[in-house]
A = this chain, B = another copy of it.
Amino acid sequence: MWVIIVYDINEKRVAKVLKYLRRYLNWIQNSVFEGELTYAELKKVKSGLKRLMNTQEDSVIIFSSSLSNDYKKEIIGLDKAKETQIL
Interface centre among A59, A66, A70, A71 (most CB of B within 10 A): A59
Asked if B72 and A58 make an inter-chain contact with CB atoms under 8 angstroms apart, the answer reads no
Determine how close the nearest CB of chain B comes to the CB of A6; give it in whole angstroms: 5
**Copies of this chain, tallied across the complex:** 2
Q: Closest B residue to A78 by CB, please name it.
A: B59
Which bucket holds chain A's interface residue count?
35 or more
Interface positions of A from 1 to 25, Cβ below 8 Å from B: 4, 6-8
Question: Can you identify 21 A-B contacts, CB atoms within 8 angstroms?
Answer: A4-B63, A6-B6, A6-B32, A28-B61, A29-B59, A29-B61, A30-B31, A53-B76, A54-B77, A56-B78, A57-B78, A59-B78, A59-B79, A60-B77, A62-B73, A62-B74, A63-B63, A63-B72, A65-B65, A67-B67, A67-B70
